[in-house]
A and B are shown apart, each in its own frame.
Chain A
Amino acid sequence: MSDLTRSGAVGEPVSTGSAGAPSAFLEVRDLRIHFPTEDGIVKSVDGLSFQLERGKTLGIVGESGSGKSVTSLGIMGLHTVGQYGRGKARISGELWLDGKELLTADPDEVRRLRGREMAMIFQDPLSAMHPYYTVGHQIVEAYRVHNDVDKKTARKRAVELLDRVGIPQPDKRVDDYPHQFSGGMRQRAMIAMALVNNPELLIADEPTTALDVTVQAQILDLIRDLQKEFGSAVIIITHDLGVVAELADDILVMYGGRCVERGPAEKVFYEPQHPYTWGLLGSMPRIDRDQTDRLIPVKGSPPSLINVPSGCAFNPRCPYADVPKDGITRTERPELRQVAEGHLSACHMSQEERTRIWTEEIAPKL
């Protein structure tokens, strides 16, 4: 069982800001990443907090534009990539990794942590690898930035890692270019590159989205095995609840740049407490259900992150927006409240009402 929250009785708003270094391996406190544009400020991430321990996996789930990728880039200090000369991204809050606060740290210190203490796997391994350098060269490069070793030693390490992630004939394939690899092999090579320095935090941003369905499960198995072996903390970012169902210890559901529900995986799957999570579960194909049942999409489209309306961001798409909530106006934003030990949800409906809707109306149809 994880320890996502530090304090607060059931039903109380959870405090996000607190002073001092945390005990958790990774702690994100009130993270905000805003991008000034000509049309206004894009609030990609707007007040996000969570904790993660070594050896645990956190799944961040949400649809496109919910801020999940920007969150991961923010943790890595990469949210300004490709931002040359455009209005600088504004980041605030606290990012604690292993007792160090990253947002106030020297950028070069954060750079030295990148690739060594925290590494990242990207969505599309073809575009994420440099087409002009061999796979081996790119892994060797990743190793030699952080380790003072000669090329031969680094190459041996690269071959070893390629072997570990299941590339056949790694001593030959190490000299291949990315385009000579298949999609699944490229993602394996990306994983090898990310793990070459034994990072303690591994962020996988949609690691299976660009892959063949048949390869997806292999890659997920590989990530799980490697996590056991390396004991890293893992964040898996996905729009697919199926991906995190097997892997994640905790799940964080994002909507409109904020967390709407988070908690232990079994709680979020079996006792979800937010209408958006219900929508995600309803739109997920399940092998144990009758195939003639239609999937239920979440109606409408994600909110604009510019000029986010006050009140609940999910309100315009919420099927239960009209359920009476005593004393709460539409412009009031729902805060994350604890619904059970370690399980939080941001919804204006009362917990009894949500539990009733879930058990009586939603769960039987899934």
Chain B
Amino acid sequence: MFAYIVRRLIAVIVMLLVVILVTFGIFFAVPKLTGTDPATLFVGKQADPAAIEGIRQKLGLSDPILVQFWHFVSGIFAGRDYSSDGDVVHCAAPCFGYSFRTEQAVWPVLQDRLPVTMQLAAGACVLWLLGGVATGILSALKRGTAVDRSAMTVALAGVSLPIYFTGLVSLAIFSYGLGWVKGDYTPIADDPLVWFREMILPWVTLAFLYAAMYARLTRATMLEILGEDYIRTARAKGLREPVVIGKHALRSTMTPILTILGLDLGAVLGGAVLTETTFNLPGLGQAAVKAISDKDLPLILGVTLIAASAVVIANLLVDLLYAVIDPRVRLT
């Protein structure tokens, strides 16, 4: 088991290094090869050549790519200094550089944004897991009945309807219509109750989309598992039906659900762009959209790395959970 965890951790570190390499390549090396100068993006096209040269010195853009890459990686883990003509700016670890637009360090921006996205992801995840899995089990047990058909119809709607539709409809009803919520983000530190009230709509809207997928997956998996020989054995032992379903069948059903959960949770943590935009939540997704339209390379890079790390870490957790659920994984 210990060796398994160590192997997974090494794989995670390698993955993250590859992600850093690729993002670095895209955002720094490619502009260099295509002749677009990041320094021009930073100071603007109208700036005089001396200013551009100064920035180029400061960002180290004239160094060989390998040296730049080394500065970039070591900056993330140990911080780095930007210097030109004796003017030294220290960027503390983890250093993702400075925004081209605001000239603020990227990391504090990410630090600011990430908790909002995490709050959104955590609440929605709990809702979609509980709702999706429960609906899926109910559908499987009531297969072919009106309960099953209506649940699967709602699920189909959930999969098909985009967030900017369900989100706007819910805003129209509960915010503009009934006035129950403001439709605006309130930090949890300001007022936990208002925060909770305002997060309900984003949670439910995001969870609805995923719960629908999980309900369908759970239903299909559950039906397959219920036909397994070991379920028949469990009944032959005289176990009560709730034990057969809730213990023997459910544990097997969790395996494929976990796989999907790792990917989905990672993706949502990287920024639920549509939900954050619809409900005006200052999360990573919103920051990413703005950074892209601003051609703010360091910020895009920071968000990308955070998003990639979220996917990799979520999958690591899933792999570890696999081993907890399925003993056959522990040996391999």
Interface of A toward B, CB cutoff 8 Å = 73, 76, 78, 81-82, 84-86, 111-116, 119-120, 122, 124, 127-132, 134, 141-142, 145-146, 177, 179, 190, 193
Contact = CB atoms under 8 A, between A and B. Distances in A.
Given A82-B227, A85-B142, A85-B148, 7 more contacts: A81-B235, A120-B236, A122-B232, A132-B327, A145-B237, A177-B327, A193-B237
B230 A127 contact: yes
10 contacts: A78-B235, A82-B232, A111-B240, A113-B238, A122-B229, A130-B251, A131-B230, A131-B252, A131-B328, A193-B233
Contact of A86 (B144, B232, B240, B327): B144
Interface of B: 140-145, 148, 223, 226-240, 248, 251-252, 325-328
Contacts of B234: 130
B17 to A, nearest CB: 34
7 A-B pairs with the lowest CB-CB distances in the bound complex, closest first: A85-B143, A115-B238, A85-B144, A114-B238, A127-B229, A82-B227, A115-B237
Name the prevailing secondary structure of the B interface residues. helix
A112 B231 contact: no
Contacts of B228: 127
Contacts of B251: 130, 132
B263 to A, nearest CB: 22
Contacts, number: 90
Contacts of B238: 111-116, 142, 145-146
Among B223, B228, B252, the most chain A Cβ lie within 10 Å of the Cβ of B228
A114 B144 CA distance: 28
A134 B145 CA distance: 36
Contacts of A193: 233, 237
B239 A130 contact: no
A145 B271 CA distance: 48
A79 to B, nearest CB: 10
Given A86-B143, A132-B252, A81 B232 contact: yes
A325 B327 CA distance: 63
Given A122-B229, A127-B230, A85 B237 contact: no
Contacts of B140: 84
A190 B236 CA distance: 12
Contacts of A124: 229
A167 to B, nearest CB: 18
Contacts of B248: 130
A73 B236 CA distance: 9
Contacts of B232: 73, 78, 81-82, 122, 128
A142 B230 CA distance: 13
A254 to B, nearest CB: 21
